[in-house]
Amino acid sequence: MPQYKNIGVRFVQPRPSMMTRYLCGWLIAGGIILVDAIWLCVADYTVQMDGIVAACKGVGILACIAVILRILRAIPRYGSTTVKFRYAETSDIAAWCALLVCFVSSMCVLSYLCVSVNAPLVERNLVRFDLAVGFDWVAAYQWVQTHPHVLRVLALAYDSGRWQLLTIPFILGLSGRREALSDFFFLLALASILLLVSSTPFPAASAFVYFNIGDPNVVATVSDFAPLRNGTLRAIDLANSQGLVSMPSFHAALAVLFTYSLRRMPWFFGFAAALNLTMIISTPTQGGHYLADVVGGLLLAALTIQMLRTGYRRRTASASAVAAIERVLPH
């Protein structure tokens, strides 16, 4: 819950209220949607309707669940039942997940549009970095392919990213950690924005493509990259979108942010740390990332966390300054 300071006449709130945070989140998502809409119109791109409809349905269903549970929570005769079954906490989860679905969908469109900028490729520099620190991507990939048990573990760890994205809000929400739940969204939002800001002028083809990996299943995960750059792909399919950003690795960044979000829950934190360490290790061979991408993803996560914490500290400092001034003013 938000912390308040009593200064005699007024209350100063160092951190924004949940409603303020939530509205701020929707302002961010709305801003991304506006950028998408303008870019799509100006550059003559389209988004396939089935993906838009699916995203809107998801947002609508989650929003309805949040509202209905809040209404039931406010009815006195249902009080004990709603407390027992955590209606308020579930409502928070549904509300933030609705926002998350909207934001992720809009950022997915924006990531495709950013690739279409067709800036000069930098993967040769990434390969040089890998070789300079002694990392041979091809050798690592071939070793993993020849060890089925290792391959299976790394594949599961890499794929866990999407499930953690859905599971962590439930863990935080049901435990009553409302601030942590909102922080989870803002960490993802800030990291996503920084990702596109840093990757758009420095795109790189996947290591799967650069090293001519013959497996059609892995190459298909980045097949939209070249058509977007040469202008032949004009319709974005949200339902089958691909992760086209190589540097920095968003999977590596998410591994850190997921673990950080659970830092105050010891039981979950230990499991998350082990799982996400494995996800970071899996990123080069399972995600087609260079080692330089992984380093970049770790730096992206550290920058995201530091920026969010700095923002909160500045708000707290401002609130403290206001409190100090008001103490000396006549009441």
234 has pLDDT over 90: yes
- Going by pLDDT thresholds of 50, 70 and 90, the confidence category of residue 2 is very low
**Distance separating alpha carbons of residues 69 and 64, to the nearest angstrom:** 8
Written as one string, the DSSP assignment of 13-79 is: -SS--HHHHHHHHHHHHHHHHHHHHHHHHHHT-EE-HHHHHHHHHHHHHHHHHHHHHHHHHHSGGGH
Q: What is the mean pLDDT of residues 7-36?
A: 78
Can you tell me the distance from the alpha carbon of 268 to that of 143, in angstroms, rounded to the nearest whole number?
A: 31
pLDDT at 325 over 90: no
Averaged over 228-236, what is the pLDDT? 94
Of 202, 169, 156, 187, the closest CA to residue 253 belongs to 187
The pLDDT value recorded for residue 217 is 82
pLDDT at 263 over 50: yes
Find the mean pLDDT for residues 185-189. 97
Q: What is the reported pLDDT for 6?
A: 45
| Residues of the chain above pLDDT 70, percent | 90
Question: Is-above-0.75 flag for pTM?
Answer: yes
Pairwise pLDDT comparison (131 vs 4), residue with the higher score: 131
pLDDT at 219: 82
Does residue 4 carry a pLDDT above 50? no
pLDDT band at 220 (very low <50, low <70, confident <90, very high): confident
Residue that wins the pLDDT comparison between 27 and 325: 27
What digits encode the pLDDT tens for the residues 26-76?
999 999 999 999 999 999 999 999 999 999 999 999 999 999 999 999 998
* Domain coordinates in residue numbering, the chain: 14-328
CA 89, CA 94: separation in Å to the nearest integer? 9
Q: How far is residue 141's CA from residue 146's CA, in Å, rounded to a whole number?
A: 9
- For residues 111 and 319, the model is more confident at 111
Q: What does 7-28 look like in DSSP terms, one character per residue?
A: -SS-EE-SS--HHHHHHHHHHH
Please give the average per-residue pLDDT across 143-150, as a whole number: 96
How far, in Å, CA of 221 to CA of 213, rounded? 12
* CB-CB contact of 119 with 229 (8 Å): no
Which pLDDT belongs to residue 16? 59
Residue with the bigger pLDDT between 304 and 315: it is 304
According to DSSP H, which parts of 75-212 are helical? 79-84, 87-115, 123-132, 137-145, 148-174, 178-199, 207-210
Beta-carbon-side half-sphere exposure of residue 189 (alpha carbons within 13 Å) = 26
Please return the burial class of 294, using the count of CB atoms within 10 Å of its CB with bins 0-12, 13-18 and 19+.
buried
